Amino acid sequence: MTPDRLSPYAAALGARAERLHPRMRAYVAAIPSGRGGVGHGVFERVGCRSRAVRVLLGPLLRFLERRGAVYAGWAEDVPFTVRNRDGGGRSAERTLHLPHGDLTLCDRVRSLPRGRIADRLGQCGVLAAVFRATASDGALELRSTRVGLLLLGGLRIRIPSCIAPRIRLIDGIEYATGLQRVALTVDVPLLGRIHEYAGTFRYRIEEDA
């Protein structure tokens, strides 16, 4: 497959994609035109667990929630739906079916040289991160190397590495259940964990609506 037909994840991994579980290789492969990836599952936990952090960072977290980048609260056992599409990168929408209503978190991923990907999260890419992609124990693993924030007025700033969030995502297959498991954590120096989600889902490719 030519590079322009690869998904951003497959392009970043290159030959390392062979280390993925077969179903994960299918997950990171390019989605055919006119089709989309759809998953349904449950997040065991999502949001910011620490009440102290939610109070301290409340205005920032709510700002990011309004722009579809994070969930500013804390919830457990939350049903969710994920929808992936390819075309100029890969776009994803994760809709949390919360008790008080649905919240959709969105992002768009594109590949960069040297095994990296760029991810713009939320509306207008309010958060932007560069990740190094690897394959470990059959799972896709992403670790952030740079994080930036889009401020009001369109100014984008790169957060200094000494205080920048450390974002880690692991996406793989549970051998016991056959479900796909995804876990994301966002940790900030001195503050600790400010956002996370973890859960399982079933995923398939279907005709795009």
Enumerate the domain spans of the chain: 3-207
The pLDDT of 137-145, averaged and rounded, is 96
Nearest to 120 by CA among 102, 146, 100, 153: 146
> What whole-number distance in Å separates Cα of residue 148 and Cα of residue 164?
8
pLDDT over 70 at 112, yes or no: yes
CA angle 103, 132, 43 (to 5 degrees): 30
Residue 6's pLDDT band (boundaries 50, 70, 90)? confident
Residue 153's pLDDT band (boundaries 50, 70, 90)? low
Query: How much is the pLDDT for 150?
Result: 85
CA angle 119, 121, 123 (to 5 degrees): 135
The pLDDT of 159-184, averaged and rounded, is 95
Higher-scoring residue by pLDDT: 71, 156: 71
CB atoms inside a 10 Å sphere around CB 117? 22
Query: How much is the pLDDT for 4?
Result: 45
What is the architecture, at CATH level 2, of domain 3-207?
Answer: Beta Barrel (2.40)
> What whole-number distance in Å separates Cα of residue 137 and Cα of residue 48?
28
* DSSP letter (8 states) at residue 4: G
pLDDT over 60 at 26, yes or no: yes
pLDDT over 80 at 3, yes or no: no
The pLDDT of 144-149, averaged and rounded, is 95
Q: Which residues of 132-165 are buried (b: 16+ CB within 10 A; e: fewer)?
A: ebebeeebbbbebeebbbbeeeeeeeebeeeebb
The average confidence (pLDDT) of the chain is: 92
> What whole-number distance in Å separates Cα of residue 80 and Cα of residue 202?
11
Nearest to 83 by CA among 108, 100, 61: 108
pLDDT over 90 at 100, yes or no: yes
pLDDT digits (tens, 9 = 90+) for 41-65: 999 999 999 999 999 999 999 999 9
Query: How much is the pLDDT for 64?
Result: 93
pTM above 0.85, yes or no: yes
pLDDT over 70 at 1, yes or no: no
